[in-house]
Amino acid sequence: MCLALPSLVTEMLDDDQARVELGGVSKTISLALVSDIAPGDYVIVHVGYALSKVDPAEAEKTLALWAEMQASA
């Protein structure tokens, strides 16, 4: 089972790539499968590829619930 959490796009890079951050970890991903992405957007990432753009309110709600679950574990 995979758990997909929204990652925040922090920087656009050359060659259809971007930097994203999730939980204090920053990584480079491919944007080859999505369009109209900009810094400040949230995306779902799997194996290094952004699969979809996520509504910011939904992303923040999901991340808050995830943080709550981690705190109670």
pLDDT at residue number 2: 77
pLDDT at residue number 1: 67
- Round to whole Å and give the CA distance between 45 and 31: 10
Residue 64 Cα distances to 4, 15, 43, 60, angstroms: 14, 32, 16, 6
DSSP state of 4: -
Top-level CATH class of 6-72? mainly beta
Task: Give the model confidence (pLDDT) of 13-51 as tens digits.
Answer: 999 999 999 989 999 999 999 999 999 999 999 999 999
Per-residue H/E/C for 20-63:
EEECCEEEEEECCCCCCCCCCCEEEEECCEEEEEECHHHHHHHH
